[in-house]
Amino acid sequence: MSEHEINNIRVAPNFLLQEFECKDGSRQVVLHGELLRRLQLLREALGRPVIINSGYRNPAHNKAVGGSPNSYHLRGMAADIQVPGVSPQALDRAAAQAGFRGIITYATFVHVDIRP
């Protein structure tokens, strides 16, 4: 199996598993089903690609990027996203309508999660 085939698995109509991999190059991935379902709902509602800037983070990478020790990224329950042509403020509102329970809006992206 080539490097490009690892995690090249369609897990929803508009998402591949590799989009959620830890960005440290390890190819590790954990993805909660509810996070994926809500991201797909968001994609369908906006009619535009949802770019995953950060999905799963293993503990070492989470620490390296200054993530919270209790980050939902560590459990595959969070993603930092952006949508071309959609402001972070508009994305925040759409994420709330898609049912995300944790939403933090930054200057260029939005953090979404499925906290209890």
Given this model, what pLDDT does residue 5 score? Answer: 80
Long-range contacts of 66-74 (CB under 8 A, 24+ apart): 72/102, 72/113, 72/114, 72/115
Q: What is the pLDDT of residue 37?
A: 98
Tokens at residue 100, please? 């995300």
Q: What is the pLDDT of residue 56?
A: 98
Q: Spelled out in words, what is the top-level CATH class assigned to the domain 3-113?
A: alpha beta
Rounded to two decimals, what is the model's pTM?
0.95
Report whether pLDDT(97) > 70.
Answer: yes
Give the pLDDT mean for 44-70.
Answer: 98
- Residue 3 pLDDT > 90: no
